[in-house]
């Protein structure tokens, strides 16, 4: 949540999850933090006030981030799910125009602060292409490109591939991809479901991804139990994953003919591995 924000996550009685409070704890675990600027507001969907109010909120957030000096603040996300949650009528302009206005405000306060967006609720090719084209034309491209994968892991590979093709076609240098929210409400906390996302994010070259916050605050996206905050099965999945070192390998399966099937050593050698990228 934005520093000094008033977001009430999932029914909490008081604001919780201030990015600058969380940042120190995250740093001790080797984790980075992305600040979600519109969580300055208490409600979701966000209730627009005015441009002067919004730009003042941006100024206060950027000043707080600069003052804190946390080295693990990775970016400022300018909005959340604008494909359905941007107040075009109240703001008096499209999201694309509002993005540029907000982007320019951030960069005027701190040119070095990375900016993350557009944080779509899902990968919408038409929306993304319009956004990137407009942002490029107005010198306001995000440093990190983001969207959400909340409907299962099946689209991860095709969405990333479609984005990379679009990025190249628009003449935009490759950007890190962050999946800011992933997994359905019934998948969080379930290792068998979550391992599929991890594998797909790795293969697709996603820089980082964050579990969606569907349920109770303080359970790390349902990796801890509600009672006592104890690690559950999904926590151990991420623990084991985080402990892995070495290099990823690509595997290629070679088909075995009927004649060689009986020769188990020959057929057993049909899996070969070659080094890929380091972890």
**Per-residue pLDDT at 248 exceeds 90:** no
pLDDT band at 257 (very low <50, low <70, confident <90, very high): low
> In this structure, are residues 149 and 119 in contact, taking their beta carbons and an 8 Å threshold?
no
pLDDT band at 274 (very low <50, low <70, confident <90, very high): very low
Determine phi and psi for 34, rounding to 5 degrees.
-105, 125
For the segment 3-35, what is each residue's pLDDT rounded down to a tens digit? 999 998 888 899 989 999 999 999 998 999 999
All domains of the chain in start order, with CATH:
9-247 (3.20.20.80), 248-279 (no CATH)
For the segment 83-98, what is each residue's pLDDT rounded down to a tens digit? 999 999 999 999 999 9
For residues 250 and 231, the model is more confident at 231
Quick one: pLDDT at residue 271?
Answer: 39
Nearest CA-CA partner of 160 in 212, 107, 202, 188: 202
Bridge pairing between strands 247-253 and 271-278: antiparallel
CA dist 86 to 54, 142, 178, 196, 272, Å?
Answer: 13, 17, 20, 31, 50
Give the three-class secondary structure for 273: strand
Q: Which secondary-structure segment (H or E) carries 51?
A: helix 51-68
Quick one: pLDDT at residue 120?
Answer: 98
For the segment 184-204, what is each residue's pLDDT rounded down to a tens digit? 999 999 999 999 999 999 999
């Amino acid at each position: 949540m934005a520093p000094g924000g008033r977001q009430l996550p999932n029914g909490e009685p008081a604001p919780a999850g201030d990015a600058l409070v969380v940042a120190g704890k995250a740093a001790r675990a080797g984790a980075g933090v992305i600040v979600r600027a519109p969580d300055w507001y208490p409600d979701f969907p966000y209730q627009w006030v005015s441009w002067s109010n919004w730009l003042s909120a941006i100024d206060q957030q950027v000043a707080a981030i600069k003052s804190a000096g946390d080295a693990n603040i990775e970016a400022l996300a300018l909005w959340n799910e604008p494909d359905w949650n941007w107040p075009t009528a109240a703001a008096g302009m499209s999201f694309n125009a509002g993005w540029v206005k907000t982007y320019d405000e951030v960069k005027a306060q701190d040119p070095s602060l990375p900016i993350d967006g557009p944080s779509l609720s899902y990968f919408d090719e038409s929306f993304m292409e319009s956004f990137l084209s407009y942002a490029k034309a107005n010198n306001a491209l995000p440093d990190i490109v983001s969207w959400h994968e909340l409907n299962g892991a099946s689209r991860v590979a095709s969405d990333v591939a479609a984005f990379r093709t679009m990025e190249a076609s628009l003449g935009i240098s490759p950007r890190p991809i962050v999946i800011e929210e992933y997994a359905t409400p019934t998948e969080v906390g379930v290792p068998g479901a979550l391992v599929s996302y991890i594998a797909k994010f790795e293969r697709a070259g996603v820089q980082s991804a964050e579990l969606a916050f569907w349920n109770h605050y303080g359970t790390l996206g349902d990796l801890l139990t509600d009672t006592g905050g104890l690690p559950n099965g999904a926590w151990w999945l991420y623990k084991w994953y985080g402990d892995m070192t070495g290099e990823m390998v690509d595997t290629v399966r070679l088909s075995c003919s009927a004649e060689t099937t009986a020769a188990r050593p020959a057929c057993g050698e049909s899996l070969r591995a070659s080094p890929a990228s380091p972890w």
